[in-house]
Amino acid sequence: MSRKQQLLKRHRRNKRIGLFIALVVLIGIGVMVSWWMRLVLAILTWVAHEAWFADHLFYSPKGDYKYKFPPYTPQPKVHLSGDRLRLDEGVMLVDDATLVLALQIKSTWLGRFLDPVVELSGGDNPDRQTFERGVNGLRYLNLSGQAEVLSRGELRLRGRFCRLLGEPVLWAFEHPDYSRQRVMVIAPHADDAELAAFGLYSSASQSWIVTLTAGEIEAEHYQQMGLAGVEASRLKGSLRAWDSISVPLWGGVPQERCIQLGYFCLQLPTMQGAPDEAVASREAQLDDTRYFRKFNPFALGSDADGVPSWNNLLADLRELIDRIQPQVIVLPHPHFDPHPDHLCSQQAVMQALTGTAWQPEILLHYANHLHDNDRWPMGDAGTGVALPPQFDAVEPLRPWTPSLSTEVQWRKAMSLGMMHDLQPRLPLKRLVRRGIQRFLAARRWPAFGQNEFFRKTVRRHELFWVQELTGKREPN
């Protein structure tokens, strides 16, 4: 069982215990009040749960986030005077530097019911970064894009439903512009490339998108249209295979540079466990990857047999890396992203790189899912992306957070809207919950899509973790 599943299991157990206690209390109260009052209390308890206790937050908001950054990372001295953040005199920042500010944040009593927000103002790019309700610990704000206003001494930080405490610490990470290089994005499923890296791949000198699975399972939406289970699964996989090839064109990546490998959703861990064996789809009654490869611009070596095995996946990746010769590979982060297909995708790339003639210079890791906070990035679409929760700083990390203009954010939102898996309406329960949270918790969702990923990923930043590779490449 994965850590994510363990946390969810514990969360559900605690929720059941809480509901049992609430039921006992209601029964106790019911002895003293009339039946209609018991009904009102039960409804109010449910509304309160939906408004303030329905988040999947698997840790205490009172804990400090813990990060290590590489030694010798520049740490310009800053001071928070009132609400103004000031650099020491004479210190200037590079405009496109990734800026991370560590600060103690403590929620007010209202911040237990309304999301605590740190507002950044004073320049042309005001921002809001949101944290957990009841927060009381060290957090890491993302000040990328604020270098100029901070250098002028005009950047202001204001806590809304929270207070900013202690002496802040600033890190300034300077990176080359990775978008000027040849980029290969590894997407475990259709839409992962857009969620994590639309801004990057749409601005890169040359981008390739490699999607590993067809994403054919959980096709209930298509069964509601009248299709049987197998037909619905095959239709969903075919549509998502089409999405993986066609939607990147909206970001300037032609079909000739998009590859769908056609392996089966949530079967990568089983493939990894038995590298020689063919692992069929769970729901589509298919054991041939060629079924979902029909839109590919060229054939791969494994098309000779279409066997859905780990060894064929490694062969595909090695063939593509040597053919594309990417300078930058974008892939899931092995620590932050717990999705089993994402973990296996990252491990497959790393294993494939041990057998390629070509070696990239840079790996950029992303996280479209988290272990312990399903709302991260918290807050509204269009706002900044603070660093995610982390409570065990195992190794130094180097963040890179390119900024997305408002126009690019809208284009990213439209790319997500084209993805079939993000189009179905939310279940009634979630729509009701959103209505309650909008009214009682002042939460807002974007108008361009109902799926939660529209809120979480259409932001002013995209966040990557940089890993430099030291291997030598063979010349062209």
The CA-to-CA distance between both ends of the chain, in Å, stands at: 44
Name 468's bridge partners.
362
What number is the average pLDDT over the span 276-293? 98
User: Quick one: pLDDT at residue 7?
Assistant: 56
Across the chain, what does the average pLDDT equal? 92
pLDDT tens string 215-244: 999 999 999 999 999 999 999 999 999 999
Higher pLDDT, 470 or 85: 85
The separation between CA 71 and the C-alpha centre of its own chain, rounded to angstroms, equals 27
**pLDDT average, residue stretch 275-291:** 98
Give the whole-angstrom CA distance, residue 346 versus residue 333: 7
pLDDT of 71 > 80? The answer is yes
Chain segment 403-453, per-residue pLDDT in tens: 999 999 999 999 999 999 999 999 999 999 999 999 999 999 999 999 999
Which pLDDT score is estimated for 428?
Answer: 94
Which pLDDT tens digit goes with each residue over 365-413?
999 999 889 999 999 999 999 999 999 888 999 999 999 999 999 999 9
* φ/ψ bin of 166: left (φ > 0), alpha (ψ from -120 to 50), beta (otherwise): left
- Dihedrals phi, psi of 440, to nearest 5 degrees: -100, -25
CB atoms within 10 A of CB 345: 28
